[in-house]
Copies of this chain bind each other. A is one copy, B any other.
Amino acid sequence: MTEQQTKTPYDLPDVNGLAIGILGGTGDQGGGLARRFALAGHQVIIGSRKAERAQQAAEALGEGLPVRGAENAVAASEADVVIVAVPWDGHKATLESLRAELAGKIVVDCVNPLGFDKKGAYPLPVEEGSAAQQAEAVLTGSRVVAAFHHVSAKLLLDPEVDEMELDVLVLGDDREATDLVQALAGRIPGMRGVYGGRLRNAHQVEAFTANLISINRRYKAHAGLRITDV
């Protein structure tokens, strides 16, 4: 077995200094990721439809963090890597409106298309197969990666939580892009980015969030995944 074959999830590029844009950064998931990446020393630009709301969300994360707010188009064009954390409802339309700004960039989709009823959460059908594949279909000029689906917004935002013990599954067909996003996940203490397959296998990773919600209810937990033997 050669060196090249025995790839580990620790042999990854240096992502220090990359600026991160977060579309939908005014929501809990986006805001939580913004906070953690800022704590890790990244410049973060929270995007929203209205610059004012984005600025308020950035300020709400606390003083002294390198986070600012801007319109989605500004966040998309000024960041090196852009995370899509918008509600599923507005997913397609938001991405369609940002095609030009996102061209050539690594776009990280973390959206989970879920429905809720009295029995709990369940995955919604997606014409393209998954939110990530929908992003790929819309953003033909971008490098789409899927990641950060199972990260608890509550823990991300909790000042008492220093480390988040979980593996972030990173999916995509562009090896350089998935490596970079794995490295980004590793910037948050406790997290590890693990390659999780091609984009065509993103649906079940998104949908599995429904199972984590069931697990959280049953065990009063904030459950995450670890991959064993890796």
A residues whose Cβ falls under 8 Å from a Cβ of B:
1, 5-9, 119-123, 165-166, 169, 171, 194-198, 200-201, 203-205, 207-208, 210-211, 213-215, 218-230
Contacts and interface: CB of A to CB of B under 8 A. Distances in A.
Contact of A205 (B7, B121, B208, B224): B208
A189 to B, nearest CB: 14
A204 B197 contact: no
A230 B121 CA distance: 19
B123 A204 contact: yes
A196 B215 contact: yes
A130 to B, nearest CB: 11
A211 B197 contact: yes
A37 to B, nearest CB: 21
How many copies of this chain sit in the oligomeric assembly?
Answer: 2
B207 A203 contact: yes
Nearest to A211: B197
Label chain A's interface by main secondary structure. mixed
B201 A207 contact: yes
Given A194-B215, A204-B210, A230 B226 contact: no
B227 A227 contact: no
A225 B227 CA distance: 5
Given A7-B218, A195-B218, A204-B210, A228 B226 contact: yes
Given A1-B220, A226-B225, A204 B201 contact: no
A229 B225 contact: no
Contacts of A9: 219
Contacts of A210: 197, 201, 204
A197 B194 CA distance: 24
A203 B208 CA distance: 9
A57 to B, nearest CB: 27
Nearest to A227: B223
A157 to B, nearest CB: 16
